[in-house]
Chains A and B, each alone.
Chain A
Amino acid sequence: MERFFSALQAILNGVLTGSLYALIGMGMALIFGVMRIVNFAHGAFMMVGMYVTYLLFQGAGLNPYFGFIGSAMFLFLLGYLFYRGLLKPIRGRSDFMQILLTLGFGLILTDGIQLLFGADYHQINLPLLGKNLRLGSQISLNAPWLISFGIALMLGALLYFFVMHTMLGRAARAIAQNRYAAPLMGINVDRVQALSFGIGVAAAGVAGGLLLPVFYLYPTVGDQFTLKAFVMVVLGGMGSIQGAAMAGLVLGVVENLTSLYWGNEWALAVDFVIFLSVLSLRPSGIFGSQRV
């Protein structure tokens, strides 16, 4: 029984963490689906989202569980402008150039934040942090993680609805299926790509805002999440956002189970073993088809 509860606890923890991963991965998958580029600035955008949420908290006393909305809006704008100003002019050139551009922009964001706010780390201290929901005597769930799970679930569903059932979402999927045929069907590719890029990084910004209360922030804190997001995109089937969401949850649960049975130091290694196996054995991802 003891063993059952500890496994259950690890799985629940994994789902809570995984829901934030899922948000990050869905944003990256949306961008990848519509543009076929890996956004190597994804973690940096997420880090900017953490700073925005932090500044709203420090400056205006806005609770991060509302502040993430500000972060989402700011990042949407930033992503939209980044696409219009920098990414669009080199559309149609080699993918390699576009990847380098996102990589470079990520460095600019990181160094820009460092210039503005210094290399020092920050954290916030909500009273909520010490609150736990106890289920029986064995299972306990930490309040901030539960709240962020709820918000991530809602926003994930919203993003899914947007992609599957709105005109803009359909247009995005059409571009993902065939970027040459889409404009012939009357789709304004530039507009859809700009909006998708904005929405994709806004999702990363939300995840950043939700992570802030349980984490800390410094300019390079997002780097590790770019890699994770990339893993999720591959696992989820190269651009499928529901696939990326599932992959996020799986990653969270696998990391926690690895941590429980083998030890925390193996968690990252197992991530990448899965990543490499999927790439070599099932390159279209474990969650099915190649579509957004």
Chain B
Amino acid sequence: MRSAHASSVAVLACALALTGCQGGVSQKGEGSRNKIKIGTITSLTGSNAAFGQAHKNGYAIALDELNSRGGLLGKTVELDYYDDQSRPDQAVQGVSKLVDLDNVPIILGAYSSENTRAIVPAVTQKQVPLLMPTATADNVMETGSPWTFRICAGSGAYATATVAFLKGMGAPKTMAIIYENTNFGQSNAQAMQAAAKQAGIEVVDTEAYQASSPDYKTLLQRVKARSPAVIYFASYLLDASTLMRQAEQVGLNPAYYTSAGTGFAAAEFPTPDKGAGRNAEYTFSVSQWLPSAKWKGSKEFDDKYVQRTGSHPAYHAIEAYITLLAAAEAIKKANSTDPKAIRDALKQLDMPETTFGPIRFDSKGQNQHPVLITQVQGGQYKVVWPGDAAESKPIIPTPPWTKR
């Protein structure tokens, strides 16, 4: 049944493609018996394409490693990409396409919290495990679905780490939260509200915004009027750059610019050509990994990434990389491509030494991953917290724009 289905799909694909199809049907029939397809949903186009590319590069490095070691269960591993165009409705369509048409036994993705939250009901209904590399909004793990697993640390951990860092650095009293108004921003803003309250930091302003806007000057002006000591951003990359450029125009000078990673932790962010350039200087960010991380293989991953892309990776890339390796490990342990067997293997998964630290999922499917705080110093991300991992001392307070 399965191979008949596969060949009918192949015929359809041929009819659509019309080219490059010589002997396609028989090849495909044989091919699918010798291949394991892993479904991947990410944002290859649209406003989050920079992160989708980071995913793709991370996955590609892991795929090379897997196949050069002989693949999985004696078969070659193949990635089946679905581009969600940075839109949640497309991500949901991706689940249908990957599961119903391509019969993938597991899905990795999506990139954003918004899109990941959107596909949780779909994978739960279709009973396919979903392994999340980068969605930090904690509500993606709060649905009670037994099919979801998350590699990265979430919004709660981000807020707790940032507050702990601030407490150790002079314990500022007031904070403003500025967040993009989709799932990622909302979830991180909520987590920070709670964490700040617990630590006795007064949140004097919260500002939600649309991430595609060219103009945040009035928003920043509003924040400036409340003069908070700390600003906590939850932003994607393009908006992060615009915000920091316009923070200078408005003359917004908090003692600490902090952030929930993502845009503020992207490799492009401190560069002048693709980010905020010098305006990124002194900003703090939560981070999950850096090329200088202590875990074995970090340096090698960095080298491979630079060789492939010409630039250094941020944590989004390695989270994709490790997600594919964890999926492969689960398939190997399950010794099967049955979605349920893979799900059960994920629950038992224990990878004590990976490039991203130990990987183990708790009863809710969450991998406990430690969080670092970095600061942009001289155009580079430097770890400044916690103390035992710090490469550099934090520069505080942030110098005002006129004194830079």
Q: Do A and B bind each other?
A: yes
| Mask: chain A, 139-180; 1 = CB below 8 Å from B; 0 = not | 010100000000000000000000000000000000000000
Q: Which chain B positions have C-beta within 8 A of A218? A: 46-47, 49
**Contact A125 B221, CB 8 Å, known A215-B214, A265-B208:** no
Structural contact, B210 and A123, CB atoms closer than 8 A = no
Contact assessment for A123 and B207 in the assembled complex, using a CB-CB cutoff below 8 Å:
no
Q: Is the CB–CB distance between B249 and A142 below 8 Å?
A: yes
Q: Provide the bound-state CA to CA distance between A114 and B248, in Å.
A: 32
Shortest A198–chain B CB gap in Å is 26
Residue of B nearest to A142 (CB): B249
Give the number of residues in A that approach B within 8 Å (Cβ atoms). Answer: 37
Cα(A120)–Cα(B46), bound, Å: 8
Is B241 an interface residue when CB atoms closer than 8 A count as contact?
A: yes
Q: Does B53 contact A (CB under 8 A)?
A: yes
Least Cβ–Cβ distance between A261 and chain B, in angstroms: 9
Q: Are A123's CB and B274's CB within 8 A?
A: yes
Contact A140 B219 (CB under 8 A): no
The complex places the Cα of A120 from the Cα of B47 at a distance, in Å, of 9
Which of A2, A221, A256, A265 is in CB contact (< 8 Å) with B218?
A256
Given the contacts A121-B238, A219-B45, A264 and B216 also touching, CB distance less than 8 Å: yes
User: What B residues does A259 contact at CB under 8 A?
Assistant: 218-219, 222
Nearest B-chain residue to A123, judged by Cβ: B274
What is the distance, in angstroms, from B81's C-beta to the closest C-beta of chain A? 13
Q: Does B215 contact A (CB under 8 A)?
A: yes
Task: Check A119/B46 contact, CB under 8 A, given A264-B210, A268-B210.
Answer: yes
Q: CB within 8 A of A263: which of B49, B219, B221, B274?
A: B219
Residues in A whose Cβ lies below 8 Å from that of B222: 6, 259-260, 263
Question: Judging by beta carbons under 8 Å apart, are A129 and B221 in contact?
Answer: no
Interface check B4, CB cutoff 8 A: no
Residue of A nearest to B277 (CB): A125
B221 and A10: CB pair below 8 A? yes
Q: Map CB proximity to B onto A252-283 as digits: 1 under 8 Å, 0 otherwise.
A: 00011001100111011000000000000000
**Binary per-residue interface labels of chain B (33-45) against chain A in the complex, 1 for a CB within 8 Å, 0 otherwise:** 0000000000011
> Cβ of A265 and Cβ of B221 under 8 Å apart?
no
Task: Name the contact of A9 in the complex, choosing from B53, B85, B221 (C-beta under 8 A).
Answer: B221
Q: Is A284 at the interface (CB under 8 A from chain B)?
A: no
Which positions 1-51 of chain A face chain B at CB distance < 8 Å? 2, 6, 9-10, 13-14, 17
Rounded to whole angstroms, the CA-CA distance of A120 and B268 in the bound complex is 12
8 pairs, CB–CB < 8 Å, chain A vs chain B = A121-B50, A123-B274, A142-B246, A214-B214, A218-B49, A220-B46, A263-B208, A265-B208
Given contact pairs A142-B246, A214-B245, A255-B215, a sample of 18 additional A-B residue pairs in the complex whose CB atoms are under 8 Å apart: A6-B221, A9-B221, A13-B217, A17-B214, A114-B45, A119-B44, A119-B46, A120-B53, A122-B274, A125-B273, A130-B248, A140-B251, A215-B242, A220-B47, A224-B212, A260-B218, A264-B207, A265-B207
